[in-house]
């Protein structure tokens, strides 16, 4: 039986350019989160478009994550051409589909999905960013991404005029009882370490409690800094 909670906040910014949406019942659900690129303008429009497109595509073709990315990309490019806004309407996206004890997910950019089992982190998506590339090359360690000067330089996003967006999808996996997922924008994960995600998860009986505990950590560590928009979806299976 799936349970879910979500939050989104503008931080210290004037506009919240994150968007999220979901639909679930019993053991089936679809969850999507996007973070519009504020440096390009109209980030809130871009993220809103892809969450809306993805939800509609899911309703018509459940489980087709490729279609969510491809249709979202096509819609963004179409909107750019209609409005002569080539430098606008770019966004990250992460989405997940669960059905009958199995899950799969996909992402582009630096919005992440974290997968936990028995209270421990099993894996998370890797950012499409310059900082993540430096990790892959062995020049910095994974823990150094959060404070790296190139963390926000993204190599892949939706809204770049390519025939096929360079998103990544995970193979279908079998879930165990009590597994948990966190989908979040970079404004969320940059202020909370993975070990704190695990600590708060082990103390939480519901997704709402987990998000509340994590948000407390984020607000404490981000206090005094110019905090970005932050958003998250927590899912318990």
In the chain, what percentage of residues exceed pLDDT 90?
78
CB-based contact 157:37 (threshold 8 Å): yes
Domain span at residue 79?
3-116+154-224+231-236
Residue 79 lies in a domain: yes
Assess if residue 94 is contained within a domain: yes
Nearest alpha carbon to residue 199 among 134, 94, 121, 141: 121
> Cα(115)–Cα(107) distance, rounded to whole angstroms?
14
How far from 197 is each of 19, 55, 102, 210, 213, CA to CA, in Å?
22, 27, 22, 8, 9
Residue 136, domain member (yes or no): no
Q: Which helix (H) or strand (E) holds 32?
A: strand 28-35
Which residue matches tokens 């950012």? 127
Task: Record the pTM.
Answer: 0.95
| Arithmetic mean of pLDDT, 34-54 | 91
Give 166's Cβ-side CA count (13 Å radius): 12
> Concatenated DSSP letters for 158-174?
BTSS-SS---EEPPPEE
pLDDT band of residue 149 (cuts 50, 70, 90) is confident
CA distance 216 to 199: 13
Whether 174 is covered by a domain: the verdict is: yes
- Look at residues 108, 100, 85 and name the one whose alpha carbon lies nearest to residue 32: 108
Domain annotation covers residue 131: no
Q: Is 123 among the domain residues?
A: no
pLDDT in the model for residue 49: 96
Comparison of pLDDT for 102 and 148, the residue scoring more: 102
Q: How many domains does the chain have?
A: 1
Residue 192 lies in a domain: yes
pLDDT of residue 163: 64
CB 223: neighbour CB atoms within 10 A? 9
For residue 150, pLDDT beyond 80: no
- Rounded to whole angstroms, the Cα distance separating 226 from 62 reads 39
For residue 17, the domain's CATH number is: 3.60.40.10
Q: Does residue 43 sit within a domain?
A: yes
CA 202 to chain centre: 22
């Amino acid at each position: 039986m799936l349970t879910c909670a979500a939050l989104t906040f503008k931080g210290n910014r004037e506009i919240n350019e994150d968007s999220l949406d979901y639909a679930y019942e019993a053991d089936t659900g679809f969850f999507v989160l996007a973070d519009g690129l504020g440096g390009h303008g109209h980030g809130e429009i871009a993220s809103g478009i892809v969450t809306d497109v993805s939800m509609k595509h899911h309703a018509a073709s459940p489980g087709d994550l490729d279609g969510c990315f491809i249709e979202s990309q096509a819609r963004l490019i179409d909107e750019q051409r209609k409005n002569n806004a080539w430098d606008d309407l770019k966004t990250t996206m992460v989405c997940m589909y669960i059905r009958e004890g199995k899950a799969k997910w996909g992402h582009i950019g630096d919005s992440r999905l974290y997968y936990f089992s028995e209270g421990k982190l099993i894996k998370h998506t890797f950012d499409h960013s310059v900082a993540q590339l430096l990790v892959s090359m062995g020049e910095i360690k994974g823990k150094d991404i959060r404070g790296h000067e190139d963390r926000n330089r993204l190599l892949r996003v939706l809204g770049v005029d390519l025939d096929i967006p360079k998103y990544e999808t995970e193979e279908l996996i079998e879930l165990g009882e009590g597994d948990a997922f966190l989908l979040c924008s970079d404004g969320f994960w940059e202020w909370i370490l993975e070990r704190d995600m695990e600590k708060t998860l082990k103390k939480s009986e519901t997704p709402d409690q987990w998000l509340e505990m994590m948000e407390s950590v984020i607000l404490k560590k981000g206090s005094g800094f110019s905090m970005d928009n932050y958003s998250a979806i927590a899912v318990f299976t």
